Each structure stands twice: as C-alpha cells, then as structure tokens.
Structure 1
Amino acid sequence: MTNDQHGLTLSGTGGSAAGHYDQAIDHLLHFRMEVEDEAGAVLAEAPDSPMGNVLSAYLGLLTTEAEDARQARRSFAAFRARIDHAALLPRERAHVEAVQALLDGDFATCGSQLARITEQHPRDALALAAGHQIDFFVGDARSLRDRIGGALSAWHEDDRHYGHVLGMYAFGLEEAGHYDRSEEVGLRAVELNARDVWGIHAVVHTYEMQGRFGEGIRYLDARVGDWSTGTFFNVHNWWHYALYALEAGDHARALAIYDAVLAAGRSSMELLDAAALLWRLYLEGDIRHERWQALADAWPARVHEPFYAFNDAHAVMSYVGADRIGDADKLIAGREAYLGQALPGVSNHAMTARVGLPVCKALVAFGRGDHQQVVDLLYPIRHRVNEFGGSHAQRDAVQKTLLESALRGGRHDLARVLVSERINVRPCSPFNWLKQGTLAEAIGDSAAATAARLRAGDLMRQASSAFVTGGE
C-alpha cells in the first residue's frame, strides 16, 4: 500500500501508479485534458487499483455523454467482477458504492455517499471534486456551498491544492447567493493558482450575478492566457465572456466569439453553451438559422437516449433555432415514452418529469409562437428550474424565455412582476431595463419606455467601455 499526495491510503496501487494517480487528480482539478491519459496510466500499471478504477469511472460518468457512461459501466463491471469487494479499504469501498449508484443513474445516492466519504476523509480531493460536480448537475446550491465548506478546515495554505478547494467553495458560495464572500474566496483561489479555471469561473459568475459586467470583462481580459486554452473548460469561460458582450449590447462581438470558439465545440457541455448563447439572440429576434443548423446536426447522437434532461433542453433549443421542429417533437415524444417507464431511483427520470419535459415543450411552443402555452408551461416551474441542473446564469435562458413570452403574449401583469423581480435584483443590467422599456411601451407609457431605454443605454456604454480599455 502507498499514500496519495493528500495522505490517503491507496491499496492495490504501487508507487509508480500512485504517482500517475496524483498527477491525474492535479489535472482533474485544473480541468486539463491530460487527466484521461494519466488515469489510463494508473490502470496500465495497476489494472485492479481501486482508486484508479474509481477515477476512470467518474471521468466517464461526469461528461454527461451517454456513450462515455456505457463504456464506464462495462469497464467498472469488469473491475468489480475481478476483485474481492470485502477486501477493499473502507474509503475505497465507499467510493465503489458511490460510483455504482452513479452508474445506476442515482445522483442523490452518489452525492450522499460522497458526502459521507468527505465527512471521514475531508482531504479526499476526488470525493470533493466528484461531489461538487454532482451538486452542480442537480442544481443543489446549498450542497455546492456546504460540501466544500465543511471540508475546508482540513486544508491549509501550504497544501498543493488548497487554492482549488477554495475555487470550488467560491462557486458554491456564488450559487448560494453569498456574492461578497464568493468574490473574496474566488480571488484568493486565483491568487494562489493563476490557472485555476474553476476559480476564475467562480469570480466571473459572481460578477455576472451582480450585474458587474464591465468588471467581468476586465477580469477575463487581464487573465486571458490563464483560462482560454489548454483545458476542457475553455469554451465555457468564453461563453461567459460572450454573455458580457451581449449585456453590453455588442452582439457582433458575441457572435465573433461564437464563430471562433463555441461553434467548434463537440462535447455535450460545449454544445449546450453554444445553444444557450444563440438562444439568447433568438429571443431577441436574431434567428441565425445558418449557425443553428450545425448545432442541430450535432445533437441527435447525444440525446438518442434519455440521459441528462439539461442536455435535452439545449438540444431542443438547437432544433427550434434551426427550424427543425419535427426533430424537437421527436425528442419530446421519446421522453414522454421514457416517463411511462417505472425507473425508481433514476434521477434523470424525475428531472425530466418535473422540469426537463415542460421546458422542452415550452421551447417548442416559443418556436411556434404560442406564447400562452410557454407561460402555462414555465410559470408553474419557474422556482424549481434548478432541479434539472446547471447554474443560475445558465438557467436564466429559461427565465428569459418566460419573460419574452409574457411580453409577446400580452400578459402584462405577469411581465411587470418578472421585470420588477429582475430589476430589483440586478439594477445594473441593461437587459432588464430594455424589457422594462418594452413593457412600458406595450401598456402605452411612452415616457417610462423612453426613460428605461435611456437607462439601458447608459449601462451598455459603461459595460462596453471595458472592451475599449480592456485586453484588446
């Protein structure tokens, strides 16, 4: 037996394999693509390494790609068939059980099992990282915060990965609404490790949620060399940059980012970022069918079977944007059949029923111009959209769809409520004031419409000035 870099015992893993395991964890926390090579090197040296097989399985399961999950199931089943489960160390046995729950589609049990591991072994970086991603996939803001916060006291500033733990904690604080603290912790994480793309991402989210778009632009510009290349998180941080451009009213810049970076995405995570950006433009009447077509072509193989409802919604956005409503209807029919099956313990089944399918149907209704149906579908679930995963920033596409349909469908009282909520949370958002202007014009208050649009214009100029003085 040997110990990993954080002092935890590894059975069935010699010194060389343990070195590869340590390097794999480092790559994982940096979101580097080399994590797969190092994980493979662990198993090449020690095929029955419990933690090596656990790591490899997590990598296959956390991509939200159905084919990756199938391969992980086959490999992990073969590993379990070869080993004596009772001979595993308790921590390793708990990880095996957590992985098996995830393989069975039970996000809740996996997350709970990983939480128990963290209680006993707060320096288990893999348990923290995997649990953090599970919390993200199910949209559990409190667990995103407390899973990491509860382990943080076991880590110290001289630990190699202390900054990465802070970066995860910063994101959890942001999703839980503690913006001042999330900024403080996120900035410290990046100070400790300039290439902590998740820590950078947490700071960027904080500025997004506070409407501090100019600061977000300057922050990303100042660190573009640290977050824009060399990881499988590049596209997502570019997506955040494009969101800032949209708020500044610079659609041309957002589309330039799309064409240069997002359009080349191939994974489900990258494809949904591309769809989420184009959908925001679609809501404003900027259809861009030619860009949607490539996205629509990329989704069928990834949503052929039910796997993750959040991905389904973005596939439907792509079909609607490409004017391929038939493809969207086919996906929806497949998910309705899926819900007719009894699948207890399969998290995606409940996510699809409670949020995913209503969102998909609403997106199709929007494409058909049936704004009353959009409101009827989205309004009852608007406070539980988090249940199908993603972040506040990502799920805002759904909230914006509801607002746009309330405006277009003449639901002025509802639109007033929705706009008022947004403005009072983020008075610095040009988008919110533009919608206030649209609503005021619709109810015949031209003075209020003019005032709202002037306010939006001032905020856009403030945000866009960051592009001029930033990293260009």
Structure 2
Amino acid sequence: MDQHGLALSGASQAIRHYDQAIDELLHFRIEVDAETGAALEADPDFPMGNVLSAYLGLLTTESADAHQARERFAAFRGRIDHAALLPRERAHVEAVQALLDGDFHTSGELLQRITEEHPRDALALAVGHQIDFFTGDARSLRDRIGGALNSWHDDDRHYGHVLGMYAFGLEEAGHYDRSEDVGLRAVELNQRDVWGIHAVVHTYEMQGRFGEGLRYMDTRVDDWSKDTFFNVHNWWHYSLYALEAADVPRALAIYDAVLAGGQSSMELLDAAALLWRLYLEDDVQHERWTALASMWPTLVDEPFYAFNDMHAVMSFVGAGRIADAEKLIATREAYVASPVPGVSNVAMTSRVGLPVCRALVAYGKRDYPAVVDLLYPIRHRVNEFGGSHAQRDAVQKTLLEATLRSGRHDLARVLVSERINVRPCSPFNWLKQASLAERIGDSAAATAARLRAEELVRQA
C-alpha cells in the first residue's frame, strides 16, 4: 500500500522512495527526480515508479525530455507483463502512453477515470490538474479536484495540497471568494505549499488586489522562494504586482536577479511575459531581450507545445530577430499542414498558437491593424492553448494596445470597458481608459482616468 492507502506492486524500498517522491512533487521540489530515480534503482520494473518518471519527463513541456521519456517507457513496457499489473497501474500506463503520444486530452480523460475509482490517487490528481492547465480547461481544473475532495480529510498528510489544487481551479473558474478562502486554508495547513500560495496570488491578481498581493507575498517570501523549482514563476507574479503599482524598477530588479537566469521553457516564458508587458508600453529592453532570445532556439526546434512557441516568438520579436520568429512560424505552418492524428498540440497550434504568433510579429512590425484582425476573432478562445488567465492576459493586452494604435476606437472602448468593469481597482485599466480618451480628444476624461489610476496606487 502507498501512503494514501492504494495498492501497488513493487519492492518495499521502492515504494518508500515513491511515497517520498510524491511528497516532493506536491511541494514542487527538485528532489522529486532523485527520489524517483532511487525508487527505480531499488526496483527497475517498479510500475508506478516508471509511470511517475514518464510523467515528469512530459510535464516539462520540452520535446527533448519527452523523447527521453518515450524511450525509457517503451523499454519498461517491453520488459513487463502488462496483464500482470494491478488495474490502477494498467490505467496509469495507458494514461502515460496517451500523453507520450501527444494526446493531452485523452490522457486527461483516462486520469479522470482513475480519480473516479481512486479519488485518493494523488499522482492522478496532480498530473491531471497539470494537464487541465496545459489545455486551459478551467472547468476541469476545478471539478477534477472538487470531485475527489470529499475523500480527503484534515488529518491526511497531503490534504492541504489537494486544497491548494482546488483553490487554483476555483480561481481559474472565476470563484474568487471561494478560491481565496480555500487557498488560505491550504497554506494554513502547509505553509510551504507553493501551489496553494500561487492560487491565492492568482486570486488577488484576477481581482486587481495588487497591494494585498504584494503584502501577502512579502510575508511568506521564505515559503515560496526557496527550495522549489516553482520560485521563478512566483517571482514573476510578484513582478506583475510591481508593474501594476507602477514600480518598473522593482520589476526589472526581480527580472535581473531571478527571471534572467532561467533555463527551462517554463522559466523562459515567464521572463518573456514580463518583458513583453514593458514592450507594449514602448519600454524595449533590447539587451535583456537579446540575452533571452538566445536561449530559445534549441527548446523550440520542433513543435511540442504552442504556448511555449508564443513566448519564443515574443523573445525573437523583442530582440529584433523577426526572421527567426517568422522561421518558427513557418515550421509550425508545415506542422499543421501534415498533422499527426491524435496530437493535441496540432489543434492548439492551428486554432490559437499560429494566429497569436503571427500577431506578435505583426506588432513588432508595427502593423497594428493586422494584429487586431488576427487576435480579435480568437480572443474568447485563447485558453485553448493552455496557461492561466494571468498568463494569457499578455495576448489580451497586445490586442488592446493594437486597437488603440490602429485607431480602432470602438473596439478599444469595448475592451477597456470590459477590463474596468471586471477589475475597477486596476491602475493599468484606468491608464488605458486615459489613453483611449486622449486619442479621441477628450482631455478631461483622460485626466480623470489618470488621476483614478494614481489614486488606486496610493490606496494600495
């Protein structure tokens, strides 16, 4: 039995390492790799150890890691008798194989079936939760965890982590009051639950409560910024709060201290997303872009995850490497022209990834009407290529800025009105209201909007 009372086959020493690996995974600690390796060293054919190893290789969203995971898992499957596995183990093998084959959606569905039968399977919940994130499925981010939650209890070792996942799902589904309460409870149970902290941070971001967000992160900085491979992303959130507070020097100091040192796709996209928000305000940061753009080519040399492609294109455009951005787009156009059946990323690239990447290049060329034409038709389905609302807001901000610069004032009015009425305490939204008013010649309204933005910063 594992730590959550589920049957599994394997050497007892391997199971002990597996239990610890799950704990490290839920804490987003790099030690998950070592514990998984130790489990497989103790028992090379330990089914759940091989399953976990494959999941880890796929959740980085990098093609090189996926290739290695495929090779290792194929060798494992070639050595074992599939029929001899326990039913839950067989189900995980099938879910892993679907993910290895590039079918995010089928893998998520298979993991949901595991959760229905085994709601205390922490690995099925955690991996399914990440797949929902990669596919931008807010409803499933909420309900996959919510449907299992009643099978967990306050005295369970990882109950707080399950609550943290649920809090993030609630936030992405728009239940902000509930997500804040659940997230705070998760962190109360485990102060180093970085995903739970992250859920609270997202909640404040989506409500425009940037002052509270900064104070919350300040009081818990040691809990979310140390001994975790998730610290870069949480520093990115801190930077978003700083930008909302009009504190660009602080955001850039964080960039230089933390974000600029990223190596993985997940870290590099945070760096690109921060610099792009400055780029939209004509704060070009060319040296930082140049260094960042140099990190991307080997990570996107083949199609794997359209969300990463967008941030690579941001980096190329920011660095003035338009030809490299267009080359990446050309490879993705060829990719969707000859699709491999069942690969989720094909539709993600075709329906969202390519239009967004083309729009970013158009923005870099100052062809703002083209940006609007590309982004406005897809603005309500950008979630289809993954990420969170906060991350995808870079696309929405690009569209808004393009409507202003192309003179599409009616569309700009709609977009600004939407933003202000969802987050009336956001200085950014009021500054865009001021920009729109200036462009249509209403100086009084522009002044009032700017004063409102300044007042919100002071209040926060």
Tell me by how many angstroms 1:295 deviates. Answer: 1.0
Give the equivalent residue in structure 1 for 2:409. 412
CA distance in 1, matches of 2:419, 2:194: 28
Give the equivalent residue in structure 2 for 1:55. 52
CA distance in 2, matches of 1:94, 1:381: 36
CA distance in 2, matches of 1:209, 1:129: 23
Correspondence 1:271 to 2:268: yes
Aligned residue runs from structure 1 range 81-230, under 5 A: 81-230=78-227
CA distance in 1, matches of 2:28, 2:415: 36
CA distance in 2, matches of 1:259, 1:159: 40
Aligned residue runs from structure 1 range 457-472, under 5 A: 457-463=454-460
Aligned residue runs from structure 1 range 354-369, under 5 A: 354-369=351-366
Tell me by how many angstroms 1:404 deviates. Answer: 0.2
Tell me by how many angstroms 1:10 deviates. Answer: 1.2
CA deviation profile, 1:361-381 (whole Å, cap 9, x unmatched): 000000000000000000000
Tell me by how many angstroms 1:203 deviates. Answer: 0.1
Give the equivalent residue in structure 1 for 2:422. 425
CA deviation profile, 1:243-267 (whole Å, cap 9, x unmatched): 0000000000000000000000111
Correspondence 1:445 to 2:442: yes
* 2:6 pairs with one of 5, 8, 22: 8
Give the equivalent residue in structure 2 for 1:248. 245
Contact 2:111 2:124 in 1 (8 A): yes
Amino acid of the structure 1 residue aligned with 2:261 = A
Contact 2:214 2:238 in 1 (8 A): yes
SS of equivalent residue, structure 1 residue 301: helix
Amino acid of the structure 2 residue aligned with 1:5 = Q
Aligned residue runs from structure 1 range 383-394, under 5 A: 383-394=380-391
Give the equivalent residue in structure 1 for 2:21. 24
**Number of aligned residues:** 460
Amino acid of the structure 1 residue aligned with 2:263 = R
Amino acid of the structure 2 residue aligned with 1:51 = M
Tell me by how many angstroms 1:461 deviates. Answer: 2.1
SS of equivalent residue, structure 1 residue 48: coil
Identity within the alignment, %: 81
Tell me by how many angstroms 1:65 deviates. Answer: 1.0
SS of equivalent residue, structure 1 residue 287: coil
SS of equivalent residue, structure 1 residue 369: coil
Contact 2:245 2:457 in 1 (8 A): yes
Amino acid of the structure 2 residue aligned with 1:242 = S
Give the equivalent residue in structure 2 for 1:372. 369
Tell me by how many angstroms 1:459 deviates. Answer: 1.1
Contact 2:88 2:114 in 1 (8 A): yes
CA distance in 2, matches of 1:105, 1:120: 25
Give the equivalent residue in structure 1 for 2:397. 400
Structure 1 spans left out of the alignment, 5+ residues: 464-472
CA distance in 1, matches of 2:82, 2:125: 23
Correspondence 1:315 to 2:315: no
CA distance in 2, matches of 1:247, 1:459: 10
CA distance in 1, matches of 2:393, 2:226: 26
CA deviation profile, 1:219-259 (whole Å, cap 9, x unmatched): 00000000011111000000000000000000000000000
CA deviation profile, 1:168-218 (whole Å, cap 9, x unmatched): 000000000000000000000000000000000000000000111110000
CA distance in 2, matches of 1:24, 1:305: 30
Correspondence 1:435 to 2:432: yes
Correspondence 1:67 to 2:64: yes
CA deviation profile, 1:134-186 (whole Å, cap 9, x unmatched): 00000000000000000000000000000000000000000000000000000
CA deviation profile, 1:359-410 (whole Å, cap 9, x unmatched): 0000000000000000000000000000000000000000000000000000
CA distance in 2, matches of 1:346, 1:82: 26
CA distance in 2, matches of 1:147, 1:384: 21
- Normalising by structure 1, we get a TM-score of 0.97
Contact 2:434 2:449 in 1 (8 A): yes
Give the equivalent residue in structure 2 for 1:351. 348
Tell me by how many angstroms 1:100 deviates. Answer: 0.2
Aligned residue runs from structure 1 range 283-298, under 5 A: 283-298=280-295
SS of equivalent residue, structure 1 residue 105: coil
Amino acid of the structure 1 residue aligned with 2:133 = F
Amino acid of the structure 2 residue aligned with 1:403 = L
Correspondence 1:239 to 2:236: yes
SS of equivalent residue, structure 1 residue 342: coil
Correspondence 1:34 to 2:31: yes
Correspondence 1:334 to 2:331: yes
Tell me by how many angstroms 1:87 deviates. Answer: 1.0
Write out the 4+ residue segments of structure 1 that deviate beyond 2 Å after TM superposition.
none
Amino acid of the structure 1 residue aligned with 2:415 = L
CA distance in 1, matches of 2:84, 2:105: 26
Contact 2:339 2:346 in 1 (8 A): no
Contact 2:369 2:402 in 1 (8 A): yes
Root-mean-square deviation (Å): 0.5
